[in-house]
Amino acid sequence: MKVLFCYRVQPFVQEYYLRKLPEDFELIFPQKSDEQTLISLITDVDAVVASKVSEKELLAAKKLKHIQVPWTGSETLDFNLLKEFPHITVSNSHSNALVIAEHAVALLIASAKRIIRSDRMMRKGDWSSRYDEENSFYLNQKSLGILGLGSIGKIVAKMMKSAFEMKILAIKRFPERTDSETLCDYIGGQNKKDLEYVLKNSDYILISLPLTEETKDLIGEEELNLMKPTAILINIARGPIINEKALYETLKHKKIAAAGLDAWYNYPKNRKNPVNVFQNYPFRELDNVILSPHRAFKVHQRADIVTAKDVIDNLVLISKGEKPKNQLNMDLGY
């Protein structure tokens, strides 16, 4: 089986793939990943590991059976284009679900306990946070609303229910297909009525949805106004799921208590010089938001090796003619 990796893979990860995949696998790790290079290499491969594949690449890939996205996010794929190639399966990886869930919990606790604010003040010799009226919030037996009860959402729900006896209110596209009835106290569908119920009744809200045409701007001014004034919002999914202006105005005017954000609207165009990159609104000026640069996946135990394990599992399944895990739905866009 021939596999083309359409992005830069670190040498030690290449070595891991070569060591763990069967000997009859031929792996291609190109030095360049521009379209022209990929077209020249893709003609006879059985699978590609990529976050996006162009129309020209697909037309050149005469033997392609499977596209493996090496991480969770799949919004860079052209789903309408992929529908024209129904013989090609497409999957993403859920290997980073645990580490992202842990980061979500860290943001939630740090926000609730106002840890970052106190740290900033104490570095200046200012102990005011010990005496002022900016109190922290309880976690125990509070309600957590989870918008998107997928791999990440389920892990967070288990953590918070086990550790803090939280009441879990969740939104899932197909609530009837879930195996989490005992985990959740309420499971609603992705509709206006159920969304409003979760927003109104949650002390904490976690966004863990995929970004699609349907979820873009899902949370706007109207939805934010439904939240409790003491509510805390955590986003570890994608920035545009929450309308940027509405979120900024809500935090600026303290209509909710706080937010912890690891997903944004503007990103560095050059990873070698990722400085002076700001959002369209000055979130950095607000003291009730924790800013995290979409780094939940970065852990000491090399997340790329964990991801490689997930990719390897699917490549082996494809080589055996079996159905891959975590297949994406072309109609739903995730």
Asked whether the beta carbons of 109 and 138 are under 8 A apart, the reply is no
Is the residue at 124 inside a domain? yes
pLDDT band at 94 (very low <50, low <70, confident <90, very high): confident
Tell me the C-alpha distance between 235 and 210, whole Å: 11
Tell me the C-alpha distance between 224 and 256, whole Å: 8
Is the residue at 270 inside a domain? yes
Task: Tell me: do 191 and 224 sit in the same domain.
Answer: yes
Is the residue at 333 inside a domain? no
Per-residue CA distances from 53 to 4, 50, 62, 65, 294 (Å): 12, 7, 14, 13, 23
Asked whether the beta carbons of 28 and 66 are under 8 A apart, the reply is no
Task: Tell me: do 166 and 313 sit in the same domain.
Answer: no
Asked whether the beta carbons of 170 and 180 are under 8 A apart, the reply is yes
pLDDT band at 260 (very low <50, low <70, confident <90, very high): very high
Is the residue at 275 inside a domain? yes
Asked whether the beta carbons of 206 and 108 are under 8 A apart, the reply is yes
Task: Tell me: do 107 and 182 sit in the same domain.
Answer: yes
**CB atoms near residue 295 (< 10 Å):** 9
Is the residue at 170 inside a domain? yes
Task: Tell me: do 50 and 9 sit in the same domain.
Answer: yes
Per-residue CA distances from 10 to 22, 37, 71 (Å): 20, 19, 15
- Between residues 332 and 163, which one has the greater pLDDT? 163
- Taking only the tens place, the pLDDT of each residue in 232-242 is 999 999 999 99
Is the residue at 111 inside a domain? yes
Task: Tell me: do 19 and 110 sit in the same domain.
Answer: no
Task: Tell me: do 91 and 102 sit in the same domain.
Answer: no
Q: pLDDT value at position 174?
A: 84
Task: Tell me: do 74 and 34 sit in the same domain.
Answer: yes
Task: Tell me: do 151 and 255 sit in the same domain.
Answer: yes
Q: pLDDT value at position 95?
A: 87
Q: What is the CATH number of the domain that holds 40?
A: 3.40.50.720
- Between residues 315 and 334, which one has the greater pLDDT? 315
Q: pLDDT value at position 185?
A: 95
Task: Tell me: do 211 and 257 sit in the same domain.
Answer: yes
pLDDT band at 303 (very low <50, low <70, confident <90, very high): low
Q: Give me the number of domains the chain comprises.
A: 2
Task: Tell me: do 122 and 70 sit in the same domain.
Answer: no
- Taking only the tens place, the pLDDT of each residue in 206-234 is 999 999 999 999 999 999 999 999 999 99
Q: pLDDT value at position 305?
A: 83
pLDDT band at 301 (very low <50, low <70, confident <90, very high): low
> Per-residue pLDDT for 93 more than 80?
yes
> Per-residue pLDDT for 147 more than 90?
yes
Average pLDDT, the chain: 94
Is the residue at 330 inside a domain? no
Task: Tell me: do 217 and 269 sit in the same domain.
Answer: yes
> Per-residue pLDDT for 72 more than 90?
no
Give the residue numbers spanning the domain of 117. 97-291
- Taking only the tens place, the pLDDT of each residue in 164-209 is 999 999 999 888 766 667 899 999 998 999 999 999 999 999 999 9
Is the residue at 325 inside a domain? no
Which range, of 158-162, 267-271, 289-293, 303-307, averages the lowest pLDDT? 303-307
Q: pLDDT value at position 258?
A: 98
Task: Tell me: do 52 and 121 sit in the same domain.
Answer: no
